[in-house]
Amino acid sequence: MNNILTTIFLSLVILLTSQVHAEQNMKSTIMALHEIDDKVNQTTFNKSGAYEKLAQYQKINEQAKKLEAIARQYANTLHKRAVNNLPIKGEDLSIMRALMNSTILLLEKTSLFTNTFKTSSKVNEIATAQQRLASLIVKINYVKLYRSAVEIFFKNNEVKKVAVEIFNMINNPKQKAVMEKFSEIPQTDQFAQSLQFEANRFVDNHYYYLKLLNPTVTKAVVILEQHNIEQTILGRAIPKLKLQNVGTWFVEIWNRTTNFVSGLFGNFVGAIRFRHGYMKNHQVAVNELYKILRPLDIIAEKTPFAATDFFIPGHFGHIAIYLGTEEQLKQYGLWDVPLVRKYHHLIRQGKTIVESIRPGSRMVSLEDFLEIDEITIIRDRNILNDKWQARMTAEVALEQLWKEYDFNFDISTLDKVVCSEVPYHAFGYKRWPTSYVLGRHTISPDEIIQNAFTKGSGVDFILSLKAKRDRRLNLVSKVEMASNLDIDYNAQEDLFTKKEKKCRTVTTYRHANNRASRYHRRCTTYDKPLIYNDL
């Protein structure tokens, strides 16, 4: 038994010293997190048998170290984004959701081992030392995982807001219970006293452990000393984790109030329509569009006959994602994507478009969508050539279904979604132009379409079709559409530009002693080239 414990314990210690480096892009990060989840789910917990417990914890701890490495690297990305006042992207939401799911899973598994490595009188001195050190390693790594989660998810207010949104969207009662108990285990008197006792015992006896001249015990002492226990554990309180505080409570009240007021206005105005769209029941338009549309195309529309068109800034009033027909989804290998499979029955009914409207997000047919006068199609040039990215985009798009309409127009919310947030989240790997309004980052249909005029974006302008009163269809050129979006075309440089205002504060002086009399803003307008790397 002692030899078995020595072998497993040595493996555990080696795993604790390994370094893992996570890839920075969305695909590799999410795939790495899914791999962590799969390996953690393969582990089992046996209440009896030190051998089995150590063997299983060995596997769990390996994945915990990988998760921490990925999370810390990603935390740096979020920190830089916050410092530069950049909005949370759809890609960030996908990664954060995957990170939180992996964290919950690891917490659930790790908590099983926190009080199971108990000293038995039936084992010898070396085995006793190994078990004591194993117990302390488990507890320290649990606290480390806990502190990492607090630092990554709840330190920055914007990230904390999204983390709370993700938490509120957890549908699995078991997962939610684990997260709700997240702060309780390391903050219970029993856990805190046990951790302090074992840490003190290690500090008092680490020379004794070294004198045992056992290589596995010696290496464990070295690893534990690297944790700097006297500074990081002894006498140090574990930070409290609260999913809401006064700040988030205030933001929530503000959001609910503005959402209610905007909702009343939007529902009232949105119900006013002066006529039907010229493309309604237009079979020629339907046939032509089906020839052109490809899965995961982004489609924007204009309804000048609706009252909302007078209040929504910009040219387009609505935007959505064309998911594709059954035939198309099979052709591009998307028909068997798990979330697509869930909606086979709707797709077979002809509901091929994912959109968010005032009553909430839904799937509709192209025929129903064409209660409009004008439609524009843009396309990620390479989306269907990257099977993994296409599958991920389809899944995230479908995850937006059946959510309430986001009358706050806040791109960082997850439980509610406005029309332009559907492509923003689904194409999270793309950079999109956004606006900062009333303390929140927003994105409009025009800003989504703008990427088709942005050099280096990889988004192509495919078609713009407009129906007139006589129901004749007219093509709108890319340059004409740019003009509708207040975008200018520089033919000489083959580059699109947009007017931008740049302002600075100017001080004027009244007396010779340079005592300032007043401040005022001086602004100039210039043509800003639309270049993807500048977003």
- Concatenated DSSP letters of 494-519: TEEEEEEEEEEEEEEESSTT--EEEE
Q: Which of 28, 37, 166, 33 is nearest to 97 (CA)?
A: 166
* Separation between Cα atoms, residue 504 and residue 498, nearest integer Å: 20
State how far Cα 240 lies from the chain centre: 24
Q: What is the pLDDT of residue 452?
A: 96
Give the pairing type, strands 297-302 and 318-322. Answer: antiparallel
Length of the chain: 535
Residues in CB range of 15: below 8 A, 6 or more apart: 58, 61, 62, 65
The predicted pLDDT at position 242 comes to 52
**How high is the pLDDT of residue 264?**
40
pLDDT for res 95: 79
What stretch of H or E contains 74? helix 50-83
CB atoms closer than 10 angstroms to residue 330: 12
Residue 283 confidence (pLDDT)? 93
Sign of CA dihedral 265, 268, 270, 275: negative
The 8 Å CB, 24+ separation contacts for 362-367 are: 362/401, 362/402, 363/323, 363/401, 366/286, 366/289, 366/290, 366/293, 366/322, 367/281, 367/286
Rounded distance, CA 151 to CA 78, Å?
11
Cα–Cα dist 71/77, whole Å: 10
pLDDT in tens, the chain (535 residues): 334 334 334 433 433 333 333 334 677 888 888 899 998 888 876 665 544 665 676 677 788 778 878 877 777 776 677 667 777 666 776 777 787 778 778 777 766 665 555 555 556 788 788 778 777 877 777 777 777 666 666 666 666 666 666 666 555 666 666 666 655 666 677 777 888 888 888 888 878 888 888 776 777 787 777 777 877 777 766 666 554 443 343 344 334 444 444 444 344 344 445 678 889 999 999 999 999 999 999 999 988 765 455 446 689 989 999 999 999 999 999 999 999 999 999 999 999 999 998 788 999 999 999 998 999 999 999 999 999 999 989 999 998 998 888 767 777 777 788 899 999 989 988 888 888 765 677 889 999 999 999 999 999 999 999 998 888 999 999 999 999 999 999 998 899 999 887 777 776 666 556 555 666 677 888 889 999 876 6
**What pLDDT shows up at residue 414?**
72
Cβ-based neighbours of 113, under 8 Å, separated by 6 or more:
45, 53, 57, 60, 138
Q: What is the pLDDT of residue 504?
A: 75
